[in-house]
Amino acid sequence: MRALLLIACLALWPLAACADPVPTVFLAGDSTMAIKRAEKRPETGWGEAFEVQFQPGRIRLDNRAMNGRSTRSFIEEGRWQDLLDEVGAGDYVFIQFGHNDQSRHKADRYTPPPDYRRNLEGFVDQVRERGATAILLTPVARRRFDRAGAVLDSHGDYPGLVRQVAAERAVALIDMERRSQAVLGAWGDAGSKALFLWLQAGEHGNYPEGLRDDTHFSPQGARCMAAEVADGLRLLGLPLSASLKPPARCLRPVPTGAAAARPGTALRG
């Protein structure tokens, strides 16, 4: 696509300056971010709810995230190179992996921590080489509580490695593990089921026997996490941050029958 735009631009030269004021926002990650197939619905990736966080016409969103991918498999399958081939100066690449990198029992995706770190460093370097901005995200929390109602860590060393790479290489960081843990803690063990794929038998045709999934999001959960990503971006103060709509976060549920979401309240749909 970028090559076609360049050809069109050169054909019009000097009538056009060939500058593209609208950046492309690329998303690279796993199932928590990805666009879902029809047979997976109502599972929803937060990336599907991200574009509406921006003012109309201010960005182009290109969601390359895929279910089941780790940093290793995203590279090995050529998905990372395909993304790089489209990245240009002024673009942004949001990078969120970890759920599948830590899956020791799944040989097709497991990435040992040292390799995970090197992959993240490579992602950042390659994005920067193209004049674009890399933004690292720690993996979003799974819905896991202890008996006292506290949210449990569920990704081992992997979020810490993201934070280390961000600090050592001066990379923009949105700490979605901590943000999502705060959301889950506010909603509580029972209330937070609404943010994930908890379905009763017969509630949805794709899951006739019901489902209890504490990793993947419902549409409401995806909107909630997208709002948290947007808030993290707002605090970074990047040029892209100025394109966001006013905040509408997800730190506590909206009572039934309440008016439209306000800052500090959950998004409902």
Q: Which residues are catalytic?
A: 31, 203, 216
Residue with the two structure tokens 């605090």: 235
Residues in CB range of 27: below 8 A, 6 or more apart:
33, 47, 50, 61, 62, 63, 64, 65, 93, 94, 96
Helices (H), 60-142: 71-76, 79-84, 113-129
Rounded to whole angstroms, the Cα distance separating 103 from 228 reads: 25
Helices (H), 94-218: 113-129, 158-168, 176-191
Helix (H) or strand (E) holding 198: strand 196-199
Read off the tokens for 52: 């509406």
